[in-house]
Structure 1
């Protein structure tokens, strides 16, 4: 799975244009979110093939900032504090979380500066909890 970070125009129809172009290309969004900061829209969306998503988006003039591998972790929803525990482990390991969201299967998606190290921390945390 890969995160695609995108800059979007803050105008009506921009998300529709994005979704339509991905649909035409047969590319499914697996999770993510979008928001406005200042006068620009930004988004992080999850795809099976981030480079295919990049190609489809750029073909219609949508600016792709980055395509990156992610760390995916299932939290036990009924157990309070799991997000804090996992993210504390990441911080203690010197891993910076740059974006965090959920996928369509209710899993936590982490975009981090050190994905290989984060996968190790995440796997160890999952076993211990």
Structure 2
């Protein structure tokens, strides 16, 4: 398995175009991750055959910036408490702007709406990064995972990139 980093231009459909090229050539993406930056995005894909994948992408006009070996670790079952150790920040990008940044905090408590203190359990609190306001609680109840909206965050109401991260806002280029 190899990780291939591709530089995509910042335009609607760029990722879909790349996926279509790979699909038409019988190349499966075993994993995908995208990181936006000012002029586009770096997309990492995991593939079995890096030679063919690189050839197909470059022949179609995509810029391959790196090919790396990867270490893959299978986790049989992800416990609710492992979520914050895997990821502790959620970033929503809407129209090229960061529309919300949420943080995850692990705690043990009685979830909102419960009255019996014996029902305390591990709870992942999803909080607004800017205000630290509790937005959601995530916890297990029997066999179910519950996402409990406490103060749901309207993404439009959260801060925008230009207000807090001047100079880092992605450019908004349309199709040429």
Give yes or no for TM over 0.5.
Answer: yes
Q: Deviations over 1:74-99 (max 9, x none)?
A: 234117459859xxxxxxxxxxxxxx
Match of 1:32 in 2: 32
Contact 1:51 1:67 in 2 (8 A): no
Q: 1:80 to 1:74 in 2, by over 3 A?
A: farther
Q: 1:28 to 1:38 in 2, by over 3 A?
A: same
Match of 1:9 in 2: 9
Q: Deviations over 1:40-78 (max 9, x none)?
A: 211111001122111111011100011111000023411
How far apart are the structure 1 equivalents of 2:55 and 2:84? 33
Q: Return structure 1 stretches of 4+ with deviation > 6 angstroms.
A: none
Partner of 2:72, secondary structure, is strand
1:78 aligns with 2:79: yes
How far apart are the structure 1 equivalents of 2:34 and 2:6? 9
Larger helix percent: 1
Q: RMSD of the alignment, in Å?
A: 2.1
Structure 2 length-normalised TM: 0.44
Unpaired runs of 5+ residues, structure 2, are 87-176
Once the two structures are superposed, the pairs formed by residues 1-129 of structure 1 within 5 Å of their partners are: 1-75=1-75, 76-78=77-79, 80-81=81-82
How far apart are the structure 2 equivalents of 1:58 and 1:49? 14
Larger-Rg structure: 2
How far apart are the structure 2 equivalents of 1:82 and 1:33? 18
Q: 1:82 to 1:20 in 2, by over 3 A?
A: closer
Larger strand percent: 2
Structure 1 length-normalised TM: 0.59
Q: Per chain length, whose mean CA-contact separation is higher, i.e. which structure has more relative contact order (CA < 8 Å, sep 6+)?
A: 1
Unpaired runs of 5+ residues, structure 1, are 86-129
Contact 1:3 1:67 in 2 (8 A): yes
